Chain A
Amino acid sequence: MTQLLIPMLEGTLISLKIFFFTLLFALPLGLLVAQAKKSKFWIVRKIVNIYIMIMRGTPLILQLIFVYFAPFYIFNTSLDRMNAAIVAYVINYAAYFAEIYRGGIQSIDKGQYEAGKVLGFTKAHTFFHVVLPQVIKEIIPAMGNEVITLVKDTALAQTIGVAEVFRVAKTASARDFSTMPLFIAGVFYFIMNGVVSKVFERIEKKLSYYD
């Protein structure tokens, strides 16, 4: 049993690495994309719209394959498996995050920007110190959903040969002729998402300063 658990824990670390790097890059990138979507320049808006359409309109598994294999045909070189996986997850999740941010930003009344202007704040100051804190509060439930999905989506990285926990479970079950490792992997995901849910619950509580 320990012989099975150690490789599975190693696989879990790989899954967690994908998870954390994706959040680290996709959260700020998503905000940037959400801003670019309201850009003054139509060309920027157009590009961002096409990007979001492609990211949300095609399967993540295909995007993984594309990010990993396509650079070879275009630039004659390719990324390391892990980096390719992280890039694919980041650009995919940034698109979803951008739409969540946009929803949050639109829910803020125009009057607040006007109030900021009257008070002599710069646009950036109004956005980061007045609008964004309210946006974050607003989007926490939707973000929680996406982040939980991300935990489970890390299993797709095996398509490009990344040995994350589900892949480890699959090879173990092929060796032992048993589905037990797959169920253990299920428990691992369940625990990881238990932690994610708890964290979001805490954040929500902390942000509910008006209730």
Chain B
Amino acid sequence: MHSNARPNGYGGWQLIKMADQKHLDVTLETQVESVNLAEEMCLRVAEAAGFDEDDCYRIGMSVREGVINAFHYGNQERPEKKIYLAVDLTSDKMVIHVLDEGKGFNLRDVPNPLAEENLLSTSGRGIFLMRSFMDEFDVVPGRTGGAEIIMSKKLPSADGHPANDNDKGDQNATSHQA
């Protein structure tokens, strides 16, 4: 993983820890560029972990949406706040944490973007996409005081059949946003 990391000095982010082959901690600035950077880094980890192109896309999109959520809703686009991204590769899954320094939120309060009245909303689909694209997804109070998004995807080597059913999205959205 270390050899795949971008060098320091890329601008707007700081690599604070790469302790071993299976853990990555990055502190990101609250800026748009952090979204692309987080996506790129996690894509490299996912590729190295053996995920196929479709799953890499889903993981990259989910990281992207998690950081957008932290950037916009959590940190309110305030540049003095930080976004914390952590990636763990366990024996059977890739786990991604995204923390912000906002006020936190409850998943039950997130409007269902599939509801008829929300279909033409110009925002509010990020959480839905993460739930749709990842195997596990949750939001908990983070150590930073803000929200911590925790999401994971089973490694392709874990059972040979990574779950990536798009239809799952409808079920998830319905169950958590009634």
Q: Does B associate with A? A: no
Binding site for A on B (CB under 8 A): none
